[in-house]
């Protein structure tokens, strides 16, 4: 079962930051927060992951609350190509990836 809760859909204006929230109140100490996205009719793409510290890479930033019960994925300057379904997944390093419904992000011109 998915261990996360995400809003089903969000809109974001092109060029603005997209902030996608995720609740994972039952996360265990050895579980990471992973984010993937799936552009229509493609396989999922890894974005970023973190354990307890905030993380940043060339695609996005991940902000994890101090109690680790929620996190936010930030796309700093959303483009039309960022329109996709974003999946927040909580798992231990060796666990299989179980997908929830995710958030459908629409970037609007």
Partner 1 sequence: GAVVSQHPSWVICKSGTSVKIECRSLDFQATTMFWYRQFPKQSLMLMATSNEGSKATYEQGVEKDKFLINHASLTLSTLTVTSAHPEDSSFYICSARGETVEGNYGYTFGSGTRLTVV
What residues make contact with partner 1 under the rule CB under 8 A? 32, 36, 38, 41-46, 85, 87, 93-94, 96-102
Please, what is the minimum distance in Å from the beta carbon of residue 13 to partner 1? Answer: 25
Return d(Cα 53, Cα 59) in angstroms, integer: 17
- Nearer to partner 1 by Cβ, of 21 and 100: the residue is 100
Pairing verdict, β 45-50 and 31-38: antiparallel
Q: Which residues contact 54 (CB under 8 A, 6 or more apart)?
A: 61, 62, 63, 64
- Nearer to partner 1 by Cβ, of 17 and 98: the residue is 98
Q: How far is CA 89 from the centre of its chain?
A: 7
Please, what is the minimum distance in Å from the beta carbon of residue 21 to partner 1? Answer: 18
Please, what is the minimum distance in Å from the beta carbon of residue 20 to partner 1? Answer: 16
């Amino acid at each position: 079962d998915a261990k996360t809760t995400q809003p089903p859909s969000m809109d974001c204006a092109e060029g603005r930051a997209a902030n996608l929230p995720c609740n994972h109140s039952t996360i265990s100490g050895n579980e990471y927060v992973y984010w993937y996205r799936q552009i229509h009719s493609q396989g999922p793409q890894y974005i970023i992951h973190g354990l307890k510290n905030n993380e940043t890479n060339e695609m996005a930033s991940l902000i994890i609350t101090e109690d680790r019960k929620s996190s936010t994925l930030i796309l700093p300057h959303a483009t039309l190509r960022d329109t996709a379904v974003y999946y927040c997944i909580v798992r231990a390093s060796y666990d299989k990836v179980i997908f929830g419904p995710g958030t459908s992000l629409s970037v609007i011109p």
